Amino acid sequence: MLDDLLGRTELKERIEELESERDSLEARLEAESERRADAVSAKQTAEERINRLEDRIADLEGRLEGATDDVSGVGFRREETLRGERVGAVLERLRSFEGAPESVLTAFVDGSVPEDLRTLLGDRTPLVSRAAPCLVCSDDAGALAVALRPPVAPEPFREWASTPTVDRSWFRPTGRFALALVRSDTFAVGVYEGDERVAFEGFESDVKSDHSKGGFSQSRFERIRDEQIAHHLEKCEDALAGLGTDRLYVVGDRRLIGEFDADASSAVDATGKPEAALKDAFADFWSVRLYGL
């Protein structure tokens, strides 16, 4: 009764309404923060998987095309990923092939297929486009028809001779060179003499990968992360500047490798600590895809 007389009842009811509205807004704010954090986390996870997914998609597309070719009777006779000593053995086998003068055509194809190669392969010519960029070796008797995808691609060329034109340096580690692995938060580089590593440097950078509740807004968080990655890339550039090698190969994150002036580059899925990741990256980079035409 006294509360009614003093107007307290109405005030208490209003306070309860405001508290209820406040609690509702706090719940909505927390839910929105969680949603944004989940969105950022999901985006980062997706970015980290882009390389693997793109490679997987390419593989599945190749299988789909292969299945279509099987129906039409045109498909690769053989597909294999060559590694280590197997690469050298296949190259030696190619070099041992010998025909009459100017009976063997070797061409590096990264675009349109040369007309004389089309003549040799006939209805199997589309397979070259599927394997490209690739080195094709074929002879006028149909005894040889193979495509190889070299780690270090030469400039496009075509050459008739009695044997295939195969340069070992396109396929195997030779001489002194550097191979660097670049990911958004990891860097590793080795200096090699052939397949022996003679120097190593590696480091990891502090790059945000999670969004904590109650932290930065999504846009600010992403801006800070981009700045951290840019700083990481600057450190990578500094590390590469003093290597003193004639050739540099850069592998790693598909989105980052194009930032470097390299003699050859390739997206590879090598993760983990810098030294172990570099070892895996080296093996992946020097693998060779073989296609029987």
For 117-127, the pLDDT digits (tens) are 999 999 999 99
Residue 40 has pLDDT above 80, yes or no: no
- Give the pLDDT band of residue 38 (cuts 50, 70, 90): low
Please state the rounded mean pLDDT for residues 261-269: 94
Task: Answer yes or no: is pLDDT of 2 > 90.
Answer: no
Confidence of residue 70 (pLDDT cuts 50, 70, 90): very low
Say yes or no to pLDDT of 174 above 90.
Answer: yes
Question: Residue 27's pLDDT band (boundaries 50, 70, 90)?
Answer: confident
Give the residue with greater pLDDT, 205 vs 247. 247
Task: Quote the pLDDT of residue 110.
Answer: 95
Counting residues of the chain whose pLDDT is more than 90, the rounded percentage is 62
Answer with the residue of higher pLDDT: 130 or 9.
130
Identify the residue with better confidence: 10 or 133. Answer: 133
pLDDT at 213 over 50: no
12 or 195: whose pLDDT is higher? 195
Long-range contacts of 27-31 (CB under 8 A, 24+ apart): 30/213
**Residue range 148-160: average pLDDT?**
96
More confident residue, 70 or 111: 111
Greater confidence (50 vs 227) lies with 227
Higher-confidence residue of 269 and 49: namely 269
Strands, E, within the chain: which ranges?
Answer: 78-82, 104-109, 134-139, 145-149, 157-161, 176-182, 186-193, 196-204, 248-252, 264-267, 288-292
Question: What CA–CA distance (Å, rounded) separates 18 from 22?
Answer: 6
What is the arithmetic mean of pLDDT over 256-274?
93
Task: Evaluate whether 191 touches 176 at the Cβ level (below 8 Å).
Answer: yes
Torsion angle, CA of 81/83/88/92, rounded to 10 degrees?
A: -20
Q: Which amino acid is at 78?
A: R
How confident is the model at residue 236, as a pLDDT? 94
Give the C-alpha separation, 110 to 90, whole Å. Answer: 22
pLDDT score at 35: 67
Superfamily of domain 176-207+218-286: eRF1 domain 2 (3.30.420.60)
Distance CA 144, CA 280 (A): 33
pLDDT of residue 4: 52
Please give the pLDDT value at position 6.
Answer: 47
